Amino acid sequence: MSNSVQTNGETLVFTCAGAAYSGQASNQAGVQLHREKFGNLFCIAAIAADRPEKMERARNAGTRIAIDGCEDHCCKIVLEKAGLPVDVHVAAT
């Protein structure tokens, strides 16, 4: 039996959509990645709320990208607190 985690190969993009301009800009970057079919935009609030169906999909993702708007790195922290490793992290500021 293998101890490796099975993934579905999906790339999920989580973004900050904070009130500051940089939060909105990071969200727009995520939307653009989604439009260009680089990855699927995913709801960071659903992860913070521990929604079971969303958690399962996020756990099974092949790659998780967090795009934060500021130095607080809330998006990355939410994922890490949920036990979801961040494969790529980008901070707008």
pLDDT tens by residue, 47-93? 999 999 999 999 999 999 999 999 999 999 999 999 999 999 999 88
pLDDT given for residue 1 in this prediction: 42
89, 13, 18: which is closest to 58 by C-alpha? 13
Q: What is the pLDDT of residue 20?
A: 84
E strands in the chain = 11-15, 40-42, 63-68, 88-91
Give me the residue spans of the domains in the chain: 8-67
Model confidence at 2: pLDDT above 60: no
